[in-house]
Amino acid sequence: MADWFNTLTQWHWLILGIVLLILEMLGASGFLIGLAVAALVVAAVVALGVVDSWSYQLLLFALLGITFTVLYWRVFRTFNSQTDEPLLNDRAAQLIGRKFVLEQNLENGQGRVQVGDTLWKAEADTTLLAGTKVEIYASEGMMIKLRALDH
């Protein structure tokens, strides 16, 4: 087994890097990208003749793998998760601030209201009568919270 380690060349590292990149593309969600880049860097270092010993190659691969993985998770992962539409999949939160007139009474602060083309479960602090102008001020799951407007 030790003899096999003595024969490690840049081609072994290059193949390992490519295989890890392919596995990453199949859905590893960033887990293998650091190791793939580390393997490719080790391939380049071995090809340049900077490192010959298999033990140094493995040590370099381990250190670079940890470094690149941590860098990915700290820098690039947070960058990719930011969005300019944070409420895209939260329809109830998109309605906050919307004003309309109630078509039906909200007895004991509970009921359902039509907003746009959707019937929403609604909650208010008190009973609200039909014809009252209300505003959606919060949401909790698929329930909207209403408050009466003074004017």
pLDDT at 73 (0 to 100): 84
- The residue-averaged pLDDT of 110-127 equals 91
For CATH 2.40.50.140, the residue range(s) in the chain are 91-148
Burial of 135 (0-12, 13-18, 19+ CB in 10 A): middle
pLDDT at 36 (0 to 100): 96
Stated pTM of the model: 0.54
Among 1-10, 46-55, 59-68, 117-126, the range with the most confident prediction by mean pLDDT is: 59-68
CA-based diameter of the chain, in Å? 86
The yes-or-no verdict on residue 92 having pLDDT over 90 is no
- Total residue count of the chain as it appears in this document: 151
The yes-or-no verdict on residue 121 having pLDDT over 90 is yes
Residue 29, classed as helix, strand or coil, is coil
Q: Which CATH superfamily is domain 91-148 in?
A: Nucleic acid-binding proteins (2.40.50.140)
Q: For residue 91, name the pLDDT band (cuts at 50, 70, 90).
A: confident
Location of structure tokens 């490192």: 51
pLDDT at 50 (0 to 100): 94
